[in-house]
Structure 1
Amino acid sequence: MQNNFVETLVGAAVIAVATGFLAYGYSIADVGGTEGYRLTAEFDRVDGLTTGSDIRMSGIKVGTVVSQELNPQNYYARVTFRIRSDIKLPTDSSAKITSEGLLGGNYVSILPGGSEDYLENGEEIQFTQGSIDLIGLVGQAIFSAQDAP
């Protein structure tokens, strides 16, 4: 009988820890969705950017990537993202895809402009810079070093 009680306590502890991890994961992942407005931006490259990636200003998360698709007219990647409603972006703001580091993921970094007019729901950020192909740059550096006398 004593053995069943210990197994029940261990099982209850495992369930409590699992529930804690789920609650923490739910709060970090913004599964409920971020309230705010949608913006779009077109990039020549979106390597490493995924749905759910962060939108950051000054290193602070202010939104989330909602979707990505190919624009069939110009073959650029159109990224749709949601920005918190308390963040107002000037119309001349710029967006670039930045890496968290050599092994980290990519996110969209927003640099606010100086305009007195603000972007509204559904509008597009005009000034963009796509992701940088780090592997391609390393390969170019290696091959250019080999070609040097």
Structure 2
Amino acid sequence: MRQTKNLELMVGVFVFLGLASLVLLAFNISNLGNSFSSPSVYSVKAHFDNVGGLRTRAKVTMSGVNVGRVVSVAYDQKISRALVTMEIQSDYPLTTDTQASIYTAGLLGEQYISLEPGAEDEVLRDGDSIYLSQSALVLEEIVGKVLVNLTTK
């Protein structure tokens, strides 16, 4: 009887640890894990002609290092372009001539923003804008151009 209770207790602990691991994995995959720790951040904005499939909570990187996340993706009616708001960790100051580009992780993976700082001395502050931007490459447009080129030859 005592051995059965110990076995049941060990199985229960094992199942609990497995479920806790799955929950942590789900938070990490959905980028919700970063919202529990709140390092000091500042907000910057950038306009793009086309954001493709960029979503909120997408990562923002510099040289492959995760430095922030996308807070919102909206349409700015005043200038007819997409407006992306990002939160950048304060440990990573950006210069005023930083370039923001939208890339895709892998061939059909999720999209993210890559930042390339420039050489200016002045840094961006909370609420400033990045003026140099490169829109997302849309796979359908590229395939369409290749097909048009192939049919005209």
Provide the TM-score with structure 2 as the length reference: 0.86
**Could you tell me how far 1:16 is from its partner in structure 2?**
0.9
Match of 1:117 among 115, 122, 125: 122
Q: In the comparison of the two structures, how many residue pairs are matched?
A: 148
Give 1:38-53 correspondences, 5 Å limit: 38-53=43-58
Is 1:38–1:121's contact at 8 Å kept on the other side of the alignment?
A: yes
**Offset of residue 34 of structure 1:** 4.8
Per the alignment, residue 12 of structure 1 pairs with 13
User: Amino acid of the residue matched to residue 96 of structure 1?
Assistant: S
Gaps of 5+ in 2: none
- Aligned pair in 2 of structure 1 residues 48, 34: CA closer, same or farther (>3 Å)? farther
Structure 2 match to 1:31: 35
CA distance in 2, matches of 1:49, 1:21: 26
CA distance in structure 2 between the partners assigned to 1:35 and 1:101 by the alignment = 30
Matched, 1:83 2:88: yes
**2:78 matched to which residue of 1?**
73
Q: After the TM superposition, which of the residue ranges 15-24 and 65-74 deviates more from structure 2?
A: 15-24
Give 3-state SS (helix, strand or coil) of 1:61's partner.
strand
Query: Does the 8 Å CA contact 1:34/1:64 hold for their aligned counterparts?
Result: no
Rounded to whole Å, the distance in 2 between the matches of 1:61 and 1:34 is 13
Structure-1 separation of matches of 2:147 and 2:24: 47
Percent identity over the alignment is 33
